[in-house]
Each structure stands twice: as structure tokens, then as C-alpha cells.
Amino acid sequence: MNKPKYNRLQIKITLIIFIILLILNILVGVYLANNVKKKSLLIVENYVKTLPLLVDRAINNFMTNGDKDAVKELVQRLSKDENILGIHIFGKNDDINCTYSSFATKYNQEYITSIYDHLKDKEKLELIKTKHLTFYSYYRPYKNEGACRKCHSDEGKIIGVLNINVDVNRISKIMSKEAVNVVITLIIFSLILTFLISFLINRLIIHPLKIIEDGMIQVANNNMGVRIKLRTRDEIERLAKFFNFMVSSLKRANQKIDNMHRNMLHVDRLTTIGQLMASISHEIKNPLNSIMINTDLLMMYCEKMGDKNTKRLVEGIISDAERIKMIIDQTLRFSKYTPNHVELINVEKFLNDIEAYVKRILFDREYIVFDIQKNGDWSDCYLKMSRIQLEQVFVNLIKNAIDAVKDVDNPRVVLDVNCDMDHIIFRFIDNGIGMSEEVKRNIFNEFYTTKKDGTGMGLSIVKEIIDANNGEIIVESKEGEGTIFTIKLDRYKEVEDDQ
């Protein structure tokens, strides 16, 4: 399968911008081209209207002071202007006065014919178009009046006509050239602007997106440790932050999936253990029960005969047999957990039973102090759960506390109980050896133990029982300072109805 071909975003945006600028340049060029002729005519018209004023002053000076050279000099100077085709003065017989211009040598017949054809004895500004020429022609007649009467006898009659002709084609060519220069300048500017915008697009958009793309490739290659750092202070930086958040979420999700996979494998392993234990428990328990019965009979015989040495050995056999039975029961219970019978438990009476139990197991370790402290309202302090399970929790935690303090000075175990409106809180406090951070992290994991003869299932069963009863268990501990296990269970309030 062929991979799709991708075009670079930078090239696409650059081409779009360049095409837009090019279209604008074309529109400007068309506008200038359409207005060159109109603007040329307007400029020439205004220019033509200013020239007669200069000529009038020179003629008035000539009429007043007789300075004929001033008129000639002005006409010749103005005629040198490349935009002016000619400045002529017609006599009263409509003859051009050649004294004021090189008329015979400078102008062609087409031009001469045109100005003669449009000669009138009245002031006018007229656009004249011939085969090769386009020019504005201005005619202004002079009457014999005022100072003119000094030299002319026909009073009131026209004695001459001033004619000024300005080339429209030349000015149009100049403006067209300027318009072309403007368009070329705009195109060059557009190219420079396009390259500048392309650079900025690459710097501000394409480069950050490439960084994000590389990050995505790494995530696709299962690198969940990738992080993108952008400081653009815009939407791309926000995109990078959401990308990092997404990767973190994926990492957590993968970890959860891995944990679920491990738990499934573990559950499968426990199921196998449960099936195995169920199949062999009968074969183990039957001879074990026989051993325990026989050792009980042997213990009775030793007591009757007063054989203390044999009695001590038999006690060791009974202790080991009970430990074997306990390991089998815990393994079966952990591998196949089923809720026991739920009943109403009077917490105060239950604590009295626990206190009696602790005194029995501490009869040969009187140096360990055990104390129960009660706080709160004990008028109706009840729990509703399996009593067997609750006893299992207390026995596990109290035995662990006793094991933790047996080698410290002034060993002490305290069970602090607080019965408030909604919960009953049990705190198992000891001043034993404490736990490290690693032990605290793993203390509730199945098969994890720090004891030489431990099974690693006691605390995991405790947590399973507390969780099953919507409770909470927390451990606080520091090495060398002791440990506190806190259990919070819901207080049962509908005692009267149940009773």
C-alpha cells in the first residue's frame, strides 16, 4: 500500500499568501492603467491653464515698456520644456510669428495643419488628436485695447492669438512608466513579504508542530516518558501542555492495565492454589486432626503421669500442628474469600472478649503492657458484620503488635477506640521496632512478610475484610518509633429495629 504524499503546510500557506498579494498587485496595476489616461489629461489641462499667465505678463511688459525680447526669451525658454509641443503667437492675418519660435524647422506638417484647423478668434482649451499626436491646445485672442493701441490702430479688433500646445502622449507615457515601476515595486515587496511571512510561519508554527509531531512518534513507539517544552505563549503551547497531559494519562492508563494484567495472573494463580488446596486439604487435615487428637491424649497422659519433659515435647508438637492448620486455613481463606455470617456486634462486649484473649496469650510475657482506651459515646456502639472476621482482624493486628514490641524496652501495646456519631475508629498502637517506607508500601501485599516464619497473608486478609465492609485501614510507622494501624468502620445505628 502506497503511503499518502503530504505537502508541507509552510509551502501551502506561503503560496496562498503570495497568490493573494499577486492578485492585489494585478488589481492595483489594472487600476493604475485605467487611470493613467485620465490623470494625464487632468495634469496637462491644469498645466496648460498656468502657462498663459506667464505669457500675459511678458506681453504686458512688452506693451508697456516695449521689451520685445522678454516675450521672445520666455517663449523660447518654455518651448524647451519637453512636455510642450509649441508656443505660438498668430498675427491678425492668422500668420504665425516666427520671431518667437523656430517654427519652420521644428514642427511637421501634421502638427501645423492641426493647430491651423482649430484656430479660432475666441479663448478655448481643446484636446486635439491626430494620427501620431495627442495634445491639449489652448487659444487665447488679444484685442486692441489698453496699451496695445500704441502700436495698433484697429481699436477693439483682434490683433493676435496666443497658442500653447502640451503633449498628452508624453505625459501619459511617463505616468505609465511610473505605474509600471509601482507595480514592479509592489511585486518585489510582495516577494520579500512572502519570504518573511514564510520564515515566521516556519518559526512560529511549523517548528513547534514538528516538535509535537516528533513527540507523537515517540509515544507511538511506546515511549511514555516524552515531554514537550514550548514557550510560545499561544494555542500551540496549550496544545503541547494538553499533549503532555494526554501522555501522562496514557502512562497511568497503561500502568493500570499492567496492574490489572498482573492481578489477573495473580488471581489465576490464587485460583489454582485454591483448587489445589481444596483437593489436598482433606488429605492433609485428616491425618493432622488425628495427630492433634493423639497429642491431646498424650498430653493428658503426661499430666496424669507427671512427666514434665514429655509434656514439653508434646506441647511443641501441638503448637506446630496448630500452626500447620492455621497456614492451611489462611491459604484456603485467602485463595477463596467468601463473606461469613453477618451479625450485630456490641463493640464494648467484643472488646472485653478481646482483652480476655490477649491476657491468655500474654500469660508468659507479663512484661508486655496491654491497655484498651475507650473514647466517645458507648451507649449504643454497634457494628454489623461477621464476628469471626472482626476477631480475625483484631487477632492479626494484636499479634503483630506483640511481635513488634517483644525486643524493646518498656514494651507497650494500646488499643484506642473512639465511638463517634457515624464511625467507630480502632487504633492499634505499639512502641515497637517500626517499619521502613518500603515495608509500609508492601505491607498489605499478599505473600509479603518480614518475619522468618510468616506466611505474608495475615495483613492482606485484614485489608480484604475491612474493604469488604466498606471500611478503611491506614498504617503509620517510623523505624525505631513504633507503629499505628488505624481502622475506621461504619457505626450501625438501627439497633432497636434489629432487636
CATH code of 80's domain: 3.30.450
Which of 175, 198, 229 is where one domain is finished? 175
Domain count across the chain: 2
With beta carbons less than 8 A apart as the criterion, state whether 349 and 478 touch. no
CA 12, 18, 22, 28 dihedral sign is positive
Query: Cβ contacts of residue 481 below 8 Å, gap of 6+?
Result: 431, 434
Which of 175, 201, 235 is where one domain is finished? 175
Q: Given this model, what pLDDT does residue 30 score?
A: 79
Query: Cβ contacts of residue 274 below 8 Å, gap of 6+?
Result: 332, 335, 336
d(CA 153, CA 159): 10
pLDDT by residue, tens only, the chain of 499 residues:
455 655 577 777 778 888 888 888 888 877 777 777 677 777 777 777 777 776 766 666 665 565 666 666 666 676 666 777 777 878 766 666 554 455 444 667 788 888 888 887 788 888 888 888 888 788 888 777 665 666 666 666 777 888 888 887 777 777 777 778 877 888 888 888 888 888 888 887 888 888 888 888 888 888 888 888 888 787 888 888 888 888 888 888 888 777 777 766 666 666 666 666 666 665 676 777 778 788 888 778 787 787 778 877 877 787 777 777 776 766 666 555 455 578 888 888 888 888 877 877 776 677 788 888 888 777 788 888 888 888 888 888 888 888 888 888 888 889 999 988 888 999 999 988 888 888 888 887 777 677 766 666 778 888 888 888 888 999 998 888 889 999 999 888 775 445 4
Q: Given this model, what pLDDT does residue 68 score?
A: 61
Tell whether 51 is covered by a domain: yes
d(CA 273, CA 271): 5
Tell whether 354 is covered by a domain: yes
Q: Given this model, what pLDDT does residue 62 score?
A: 60
- Structural domain for 33, as ranges: 9-175
Tell whether 329 is covered by a domain: no
Q: Per residue in 208-241, is it b (16+ CB within 10 Å) or e — as a string? A: beebeeebeebbeeeeeebebebeeeeebeebbe
Q: Given this model, what pLDDT does residue 280 score?
A: 67
Task: Calculate the alpha carbon distances from 83 to 162, 167, 286 in Å.
Answer: 18, 5, 133
Angle between helices 68-79 and 9-65 (to 10 degrees): 160
d(CA 470, CA 486): 14
Task: Calculate the alpha carbon distances from 59 to 72, 82, 152 in Å.
Answer: 10, 23, 14
Tell whether 166 is covered by a domain: yes
Which of 141, 175, 209 is where one domain is finished? 175
Tell whether 62 is covered by a domain: yes
Q: Given this model, what pLDDT does residue 5 score?
A: 59
Q: Given this model, what pLDDT does residue 427 score?
A: 93
CATH number for the domain that contains residue 456: 3.30.565.10
Q: Given this model, what pLDDT does residue 63 score?
A: 59
**pTM score > 0.75 for this model?**
no
Tell whether 258 is covered by a domain: no
Q: Given this model, what pLDDT does residue 103 score?
A: 47
Q: Given this model, what pLDDT does residue 105 score?
A: 46
Tell whether 447 is covered by a domain: yes
Query: What single letter denotes the amino acid at residue 70?
Result: A
Q: Given this model, what pLDDT does residue 13 score?
A: 78
Tell whether 287 is covered by a domain: no
